[in-house]
Amino acid sequence: MNLEDIATVKSILSQPQKIVIIPHKNPDGDAMGSCLGLYGYLKSFDHEVAVIAPNDYPKFLKWMPNNEVVLNFEKENSQAKKCLEEATVVFTLDFNDLSRTGQLHTILEEKEADFIMIDHHQQPKDYARVTYSDVTMSSTCEMVYNFMEYLGGLDKMDKDIATNLYTGIMTDTGSFKYRSTSSRTHKVVADLIDRGANNMEIHQQVFDTNSPSRLHLLGVALSNMVILPEYKTAYITITQDELDAHDFKKGDTEGFVNYGLTLEGIVFAVIFIENKEEGIIKISFRSVGDFSVNEFARTHFNGGGHDNAAGGRSDENMDVTIEKFNTILKTYKLQLNP
Ligand code: 5GP
Ligand code: MN
């Protein structure tokens, strides 16, 4: 954040405001952690603050401090709309384009307020009065920590804020191992622990609350995996029938895509998950090294994200989508075998 942006934010927040904080659709740990961390910080001043999630999110994130304040735009629609109507300031966290907010996006596009974006995704759109975008950051949670520091507010960091920010840094860095994890990330995390984040407990809450049906679904996913050594690629498919047979709950497939990358020699991993209700195949892309899945998702599957983690979608059925993927993959043979 440059000095001018810091001064602008300070001046906006110097008076009591009605603030709404919004994560992207299907929010993950970083989206919820950054929103709830920022919520705790802004609440320590004289502001009215609401967090509005575009839709539901997994149970393994619902233990997070202050989770009870989150309004689900699909379920608590009129209350959420009222907060939005009254808002004087809108923070948008962990996304780069209002189209990432699903049903909320038309309201946000028409909304008159001071928008402040905090985000680490590539190619940020220019819709905010203040855009704090840094694609080198491990997570939006690390940026919220910086944001508090820039505003001179680290003394407001209590155990709840620290816990929320720790959770998002942990989930977005694959427990501190992805390339974007810097020594600064570790310093921030160390400070969050000093300020009350319980690292072991947080890890258990997020990762050790499996249900038997989820592990069985993982078994199905792994046996469906197709490995294409000539493209250094592994992909998984999961159909709606397979989800239904395993009592699928939101978040159950989180992390499945990463198994492909644990294979020696594989640098590109993909998972295709059928969603009959939305009539789409939701796709997650992951890579190690220089192969940009952001470019791949953006160019071919209406998506985007980061160099090594991106998402997208297909409006075709599973068979057509896989055929399309295999055809496109052929054109990337050299890039995948540099
Ligand atoms: P995931 O595969 O876990 O859903 O998402 C991986 C990364 O890509 C996340 O940073 C997420 O925000 C981003 N992402 C996921 N789906 C989409 C999408 O449809 N469009 C864009 N632009 N980014 C996405
Ligand atoms: Mn993130």
pLDDT digits (tens, 9 = 90+) for 192-246: 999 999 999 999 999 999 999 999 999 999 999 999 999 999 999 999 999 999 9
In CATH, what number is assigned to the domain containing residue 150?
Answer: 3.90.1640.10
Report residue 247 CA to chain centroid gap.
24
Task: Mark which of 160, 176, 207 sits at the end of a domain.
Answer: 207
Tally of structural domains, the chain: 2
pLDDT band at 296 (very low <50, low <70, confident <90, very high): very high
Alpha helices in the chain (DSSP H): 3-13, 29-43, 77-86, 105-110, 140-150, 159-172, 183-194, 199-207, 212-223, 240-245, 293-300, 318-330, 333-336
Same domain flag for 133 and 264:
no
Q: Provide the residue range defining the domain that includes 146.
A: 3-207
For ligand 1, say whether the CB of 27 is within 6 Å of any of its atoms: no
Same domain flag for 163 and 122:
yes
Per residue in 146-196, pLDDT tens? 999 999 999 999 999 999 999 999 999 999 999 999 999 999 999 999 999
Tokens of 279: 């009539």
Cα angle for residues 130, 131, 134 (degrees, 5° grid):
150
Instruction: Supply the residue whose CA is at minimum distance from atom 14 of ligand 1.
Output: 311
Task: Mark which of 179, 207, 235 sits at the end of a domain.
Answer: 207
Give pTM, 2 decimals: 0.96
Task: State which of 22, 26, 28 you would mutate to test the pocket of ligand 1, scoring each by most atoms of that ligand within 8 A of its C-beta.
Answer: 28
Is the distance from CB of 48 to CB of 19 less than 8 angstroms?
A: yes
Q: What is the Å distance from ligand 2's center to 230 Cα?
A: 31
